Structure 1
């Protein structure tokens, strides 16, 4: 029967304090995750780390083997605590969950400070608290049961155990948000527990006499009460004076710039004519739950460089649209929005293929309904300031998702007369043509208030301009684009001709020239028949409009595109001779003919399939990963340790003189017994070691140990080492044969469990050189 080693009694209180402080530390992640799923992961890491450390000590495993066993347990037991949906039957590890446990431990630290809160994606984010607490619990418990009991108890040595919980507590602060989670309660509790534990663990009452112990106990109780009271008073009163509450806390997510740059994707407005020409009759997506007159929002653009309106990149850090964050199902609230109702729609993609995710209003939740699209949900990034969502992997045909959104409240012009524009910081609009500034002043005339100025610009564009998408059926040319040259052309021709792309871009530039915070929004405006529950959106439904921010109201929409499509025939549009803009205009990029060729796709699927040859099916990969990875984690340490043992045996058996190789046989057999869990003393004679081990065999194995004797081998080795005569190969082989036979008999008699555990142990002299010393101390 295997004899378990008991955990030192004083270590239990150390482990309890370590666990309590770790839980207080991991609670700081609540502001990042928003719910308590992270706490389950943290408690799971605490159970796995602490349990493996205690079990390894009880089974007499070395520190290295205990760490390897803890790594195996980390992967085998982590799935139900972190990613039950990704596991097999919720509890067994799968290829996806094992990969998540590895990726989350490495990349979760960077993701949590760059993602929007609450952090719900990627799927491996709960691994972060699981890994952190697992590591702290494993190291702290191993120190508490292996290192601390063997040394005199001092404040410095005891404080080493607090390093992990303190680091976890600070990580919860730095990786959280501006709003702390019960900071005062957690801080005082953490300090009281740590200080009281340090004070009580310094001395031992059992060393004093009965009267002295009682007197010392009373003093410690009074001192502890005084310490707790002083900690609370200092923490609550003096702390508020020395460190007053600040409006903003220092958190890493506010200092680290998100790595996502929306400028890596083309501007949505640059592809406006593609919808009206090539995709006009193509079904893009079907939307369920859309109300009459409601717009489908695609993207908001705040930056203009003389060529394009675009979402602001990471260089425009002060603007709202620089804040694209990776989000999960729950999306942060949008600022400046005044909403009186919410809208829930379900969108199913068909012909739409882009990265900008269509939606309505300002989403609060996004749920991907089908398996194909939900697998890509971790690529969803959202800008709360602009209401723009980006699926970096691209929206593909068949994707289906449901979004609930807040809809901006509508206001009449009378309600906005006394309302100033909002003080929002937007990227500067560059290279605005001079004619745009002149026309803005001309159209606004005597208008004073911002809403009057905007309505005057909108009215002038709608009444003086004409609508044309540049199609052959429109009867009048209309060039695509909204660069400075195209906007200049819009105002310098005898008639203004364009579509939503040009008019929205022009009005936003006019508003910017008047110092009004305006942006261009692109989306779709489908007609919803009465009583219809769903509507099919095509490319002809594309549109664009302007939004301006008003203080306490939100972003108010303006629609400057005219309805007139018939340009008077007696007026032939000819360019006027007017001054050019101050900047050199970019070359025209719309040289494509209106008569576009139809692309013909050749189906060569069969040919490709033949070229690929045999392809391993997906279920085989899944089965191999589910079974193979856990087997590799279990068998890998055994193979590594086995290789080290084989190398150790070869070196002892084949190197050195004859007496050295005979002594190596004795070292090999004693190492083997130590790995089987026997206490092999050092710093004594071989005969005494043999007697001690044989006595342990008799006690633990019983009658089955009668034929296992080490004394003859000890005598043989002593004669070979101390007689001063050359040792031949025959004696070397005999000593090694006796040693290996004795070790083999011991392995077969001690039982299967101890034999299996010995495969994970690699004993060195440092591991068991203090056995006799510890016995003498106990005596």
Structure 2
């Protein structure tokens, strides 16, 4: 093994101040993630990442390691020490890495960024999400401290070179905003503090020796102290007063989680209610699960459905309103409180799966915590939950042997007298269509016998219980009962002489009647086993049931049970099954067959019956893919953010409101895009001179056609200084000319500049140019 290079000289005091400043700024930025997490564990992981990255960078500097060895040391430190800071509960003895912690650090680096955006904030699970702040702190520290200790000391310190070191903490600060929530996390305090420290550091570290030699130590110190005080006071006053004026309200804040769709789409699964008869026929005596903790009278909730398309009740898609059953998300260990629910009762349920096999998690009430202890490898991150309906889903599916525990709240059920004058809740339920006209007419007829919403619903419930008959359509039932709850089945329920069905049909009919009265209603499917005092009970297919829930203002979702108990249908009222005549088919004449024709050919399968082993990629392929994906993702994130900001800039200018403002915005947008393409935009001159200067630069690239900038400048001046109202048509013409001019300029440059322009920001280029000019001017003044 080759010996390490000789160590570098010890770091100067100035460099140590740089390191301390960068770590302080990174810590302030890391605190911004507090709105997305539910405990301080994220901050400990983030600070640990800063420590690990700093130690790796200092070690590489001390022993003069090259680029590749430095990267190797940093990655090794990331995995070796990551278990201590990010995943101490899964580490051996709290600090030694294990295969699980190493896998979590890798998975968190790749997938944690997506999961943190789809989790219901505050985030608390899965555990590998904690690797996100750890990775962010580690990466910022490695890059920033390496630049501060090995790049900046060997060069003349200028504002732009010092400013490069602030890119890492600034990106981390921006990430805290984008990954957070609508509610800012101490935005004013962190913003003012971050700006003050950055500005003071830049000011105090600017050409110290030269300034001291010219102005003298005391005079320079006095100037710096006065300047520092001015910066602090100005930042505090301006940041507090102006910041409160320009900061957007919470509903207008841009955060990524508000623009990310949930990764779970329940529409790919069939409606649970459509499979109701499967339980009553195929699993009537099959033990589906064993449950402990279910109290007398409590029911097991399987799924909640609130949208109807004329064929079946289903779970609304994710594009529906937030009040619907379609908003399933990762929730973490802390489940959000359910809306509308009023409860003073808590319960606990332990479930062990036997014959049940589906994605819907049987539960009770509204879950406060879900703890999986399954045997077949499902993970906490596979759980999705909808707090509005109390429905949980395991995307990997439940199977025999799985078990879990649920702590839940039970909806309080007030007395009927207390609901006499309570209105239904004002929420926007999902769409319901194709309700048969006889169902609507019957609902109106029955509802007219009562005056309050609760009384009307009670009247519908009593009408079904007293006039209907229960039948599951099995051979032992006295009366036939068709399966399904489509519009034709609901039509028959109210038009045939006898109303016959089971919980599936009565729940659907009641829900359609209530929805025709504009009441927020939903259908719940589940199980109603005979539980006594929380003891263990076996749930079979015979326990399947369905009921209705209606939302009342200030009370919550109250259940209704419209299924009758009567099964003995009067003989003279038993509906006869419909017969469908078969068409007559003329039979072909008989022909005599030869004996050989009576022998059917049999195909013999000589193929090997042994199962073929499926092709599986080796583990090193996955590891190599992850290692390659991490830097790609880290590079793409800032590029995508810049592209989104530029699109937002164009949209804001085009929709400026007044015509003259929109026209001026078209000119500004054209100049910005020219600057981002690499053209030198003249400053502090008229639009016509700017257009002429840019036209010359485009012609120098061999383009023969005019860019149209001169015409655009004239039209913009006319719109801005004309003293008249600018019509939308004129504004649209100016924007068309501006974008056409940019297209000509874009065609004049090479592919590399066109690609780079997508990720440049003209404001940053203008700032860099000003800094460069200022530095050149300062150097010229220093020369004798």
Q: TM-score, normalised by structure 2?
A: 0.71
1:364 to 362, 368, 391: 368
1:208 aligns with 2:212: yes
Structure 2 equivalent of residue 703 of structure 1: none
Q: Distance in 2 between matches of 1:8 and 1:146?
A: 12
Structure 2 equivalent of residue 239 of structure 1: 243
Contact kept, 8 Å, 2:375 with 2:401, in 1: the verdict is: no
1:416 aligns with 2:419: yes
CA deviations over 1:481-514 (Å, ceiling 9, x no partner): 1111111121222111111111111111111111
1:544 aligns with 2:540: no
Q: What are the within-5 Å matches in structure 2 for residues 313-392 of structure 1?
A: 313-370=317-374, 372=376, 375-392=378-395
Q: Secondary structure at the match of 1:528?
A: coil
Q: What are the within-5 Å matches in structure 2 for residues 651-690 of structure 1?
A: none
Q: Secondary structure at the match of 1:506?
A: helix
Name whichever of 244-253 and 141-150 sits farther off: 244-253
Aligned pairs, number: 592
Structure 2 equivalent of residue 461 of structure 1: 464
Q: What are the within-5 Å matches in structure 2 for residues 10-409 of structure 1?
A: 10-204=14-208, 208=212, 212-243=216-247, 245-247=249-251, 249-370=253-374, 372=376, 375-409=378-412
Q: Distance in 1 between matches of 2:325 and 2:204?
A: 55
Structure 1 equivalent of residue 722 of structure 2: none
Cα distance change on mapping 1:570 and 1:318 into 2, 3 Å:
same
Contact kept, 8 Å, 1:19 with 1:137, in 2: the verdict is: yes
Contact kept, 8 Å, 2:5 with 2:65, in 1: the verdict is: no
Q: Distance in 1 between matches of 2:93 and 2:375?
A: 17
Contact kept, 8 Å, 2:307 with 2:313, in 1: the verdict is: yes
Q: Secondary structure at the match of 1:208?
A: helix
Cα distance change on mapping 1:115 and 1:442 into 2, 3 Å:
same
Structure 2 equivalent of residue 718 of structure 1: none
Deviation at 1:615, TM superposition (A): 14
Cα distance change on mapping 1:371 and 1:160 into 2, 3 Å:
farther
Deviation at 1:575, TM superposition (A): 8.3
Structure 1 equivalent of residue 537 of structure 2: 535
Q: Distance in 2 between matches of 1:484 and 1:164?
A: 61
Deviation at 1:306, TM superposition (A): 0.9
Cα distance change on mapping 1:614 and 1:201 into 2, 3 Å:
closer
CA deviations over 1:284-336 (Å, ceiling 9, x no partner): 11221211111111111011111111111123255432211023322121111
Q: Secondary structure at the match of 2:127?
A: coil
CA deviations over 1:348-377 (Å, ceiling 9, x no partner): 11121111001111101111235546x422
Q: Distance in 2 between matches of 1:533 and 1:125?
A: 37
Q: Secondary structure at the match of 1:382?
A: strand
Q: Distance in 1 between matches of 2:435 and 2:211?
A: 87
Q: Distance in 1 between matches of 2:522 and 2:615?
A: 50
Name whichever of 495-504 and 362-371 sits farther off: 362-371
Contact kept, 8 Å, 1:7 with 1:57, in 2: the verdict is: no
Deviation at 1:612, TM superposition (A): 7.5
Q: Secondary structure at the match of 2:101?
A: helix
Structure 2 equivalent of residue 654 of structure 1: none
Deviation at 1:188, TM superposition (A): 2.2
Q: What is the CA RMSD across the aligned residues, in angstroms?
A: 2.9
Contact kept, 8 Å, 1:79 with 1:93, in 2: the verdict is: yes
2:444 to 441, 445, 450: 441
Contact kept, 8 Å, 1:419 with 1:551, in 2: the verdict is: yes
Structure 2 equivalent of residue 731 of structure 1: none
Q: Distance in 2 between matches of 1:62 and 1:254?
A: 42
Contact kept, 8 Å, 2:349 with 2:407, in 1: the verdict is: yes
Q: Distance in 1 between matches of 2:452 and 2:497?
A: 30
Deviation at 1:59, TM superposition (A): 0.5
Q: Distance in 1 between matches of 2:438 and 2:132?
A: 56
Contact kept, 8 Å, 2:6 with 2:64, in 1: the verdict is: no
CA deviations over 1:648-691 (Å, ceiling 9, x no partner): xxxxxxxxxxxxxxxxxxxxxxxxxxxxxxxxxxxxxxxxxxxx
Contact kept, 8 Å, 1:205 with 1:213, in 2: the verdict is: no
List runs of 5+ in structure 2 lacking aligned partners.
579-607, 628-784
List runs of 5+ in structure 1 lacking aligned partners.
577-606, 634-779
Q: Secondary structure at the match of 1:537?
A: strand
Deviation at 1:152, TM superposition (A): 2.2
Cα distance change on mapping 1:424 and 1:173 into 2, 3 Å:
same
Q: Distance in 1 between matches of 2:51 and 2:197?
A: 20
Q: Distance in 1 between matches of 2:499 and 2:75?
A: 70
Cα distance change on mapping 1:174 and 1:515 into 2, 3 Å:
same
Q: Distance in 2 between matches of 1:317 and 1:454?
A: 25
1:524 aligns with 2:527: yes
Contact kept, 8 Å, 2:182 with 2:250, in 1: the verdict is: no
Q: Distance in 2 between matches of 1:319 and 1:382?
A: 14
Contact kept, 8 Å, 1:284 with 1:351, in 2: the verdict is: yes
Q: Distance in 2 between matches of 1:482 and 1:430?
A: 13
Contact kept, 8 Å, 2:295 with 2:534, in 1: the verdict is: no
Structure 1 equivalent of residue 478 of structure 2: 475
Contact kept, 8 Å, 1:46 with 1:133, in 2: the verdict is: yes
Contact kept, 8 Å, 1:318 with 1:426, in 2: the verdict is: no
Deviation at 1:567, TM superposition (A): 0.8
Name whichever of 444-453 and 306-315 sits farther off: 444-453
Contact kept, 8 Å, 2:123 with 2:332, in 1: the verdict is: yes
Deviation at 1:174, TM superposition (A): 1.6
CA deviations over 1:100-154 (Å, ceiling 9, x no partner): 3233222222221122223233332111111111111111111111221222222
Deviation at 1:558, TM superposition (A): 1.0
Deviation at 1:518, TM superposition (A): 0.6
Deviation at 1:208, TM superposition (A): 2.5
1:503 to 502, 506, 512: 506
Deviation at 1:532, TM superposition (A): 5.3
Deviation at 1:410, TM superposition (A): 0.8
1:566 aligns with 2:553: no
Q: TM-score, normalised by structure 1?
A: 0.72
Q: Secondary structure at the match of 2:129?
A: coil
Q: Distance in 2 between matches of 1:453 and 1:613?
A: 63
Structure 2 equivalent of residue 597 of structure 1: none
Cα distance change on mapping 1:251 and 1:416 into 2, 3 Å:
farther
Cα distance change on mapping 1:36 and 1:486 into 2, 3 Å:
same
Q: What are the within-5 Å matches in structure 2 for residues 425-440 of structure 1?
A: 425-440=428-443
